[in-house]
Copies of this chain bind each other. A is one copy, B any other.
Amino acid sequence: MRPDEARPRLAALGFRPDDVETLADHFLDAERRGSLGHGLSRIAWLETWEALPVDARPERRVEEPGYELWDGCGALGYLTLAAAVEAQLAAPPERARVVVCTRTFPTGALGYWTRKLAEGGLVALLTATSPRRLPPPGGGEPLTGTNPLSIAIPSRDGAPVVSDVSMGAVTHGDVLAGRALPEELVPFGGEQAHKAFALAVGLQLLVDALTPDDGFGAVLIVARPEADPVPGFRSLAAGARLPGDRR
């Protein structure tokens, strides 16, 4: 699929014009950053859905200074995260806020969302669940999603630092595309895969415990920075490529 096909094909699926923009921007950004599993291939994937929830809208069910609960209400998770992120940028927390998104799937490239928050001056930490695909390192049935964790830190003098790490050794997209074998979709780390598995379990149960509904969800922490560590860190790294920098 060519980049210029993204918007017409999303529109043809019945999405409203502003949702077409939201989805296309996410998929095209993933494509540019080389996260092909979160990119344009997802439009072809959406075209296989029997009934796309193009009319569903996410709702903010709880709104407090330090806590929000968003409900996907059947909408695509991308749109729920987009609405929740936009709301944080429009009304940032005085200090910090925990934002729980229930019934929220799929969530795409988490670094896309945390980068938006960091570009708006906020520190962000985001994780999300997805279908269980990672077995424990000793083998067995899959117990957790690949459960990425993304952290983004704004910088007053330039680009934010954005880390975005899946706990899988390969992505589900790699398996679908034939770039990896299904048995390679295990916690990353080789001999130390128990560490990535423990992170995946912790993040899985964190989301499952904080979302009131069954199913997939996301947990986001946003906060105003009290310091500006990125320039000093980049200087210490002396030109080394940092997470989230373009290759």
Question: Chain A interface (Cβ within 8 Å of chain B)?
Answer: 62, 64-67, 93-98, 100, 123, 125, 136, 138, 140-141, 143, 149-154, 161, 163-166, 169, 188-192, 195-199, 201-206, 208-212, 221, 223, 225-230, 233, 236-238, 240, 242-243
Contact = CB atoms under 8 A, between A and B. Distances in A.
Number of copies of this protein chain within its complex: 2
Contact of A227 (B164, B212, B233, B243): B212
A95 B95 contact: no
A226 B206 CA distance: 10
A221 B143 contact: no
A233 B151 CA distance: 26
A210 B237 CA distance: 20
A135 to B, nearest CB: 9
A200 to B, nearest CB: 9
Q: Which of A67, A93, A97, A100 has the most CB of B within 10 A?
A: A67
A204 B237 CA distance: 13
13 contacts: A65-B65, A66-B97, A67-B93, A67-B95, A98-B223, A152-B202, A163-B202, A165-B199, A166-B195, A189-B195, A201-B233, A201-B243, A204-B233
A154 B95 CA distance: 26
Contacts of A98: 66, 95-98, 221, 223
Contact of A141 (B191, B205, B225, B236): B236
The 9 closest A-B pairs by CB, nearest first: A66-B66, A151-B202, A163-B202, A208-B229, A96-B98, A67-B95, A198-B243, A153-B205, A212-B226
Contacts of A227: 208-212
A104 to B, nearest CB: 14
Contacts of A243: 197-198, 201-202
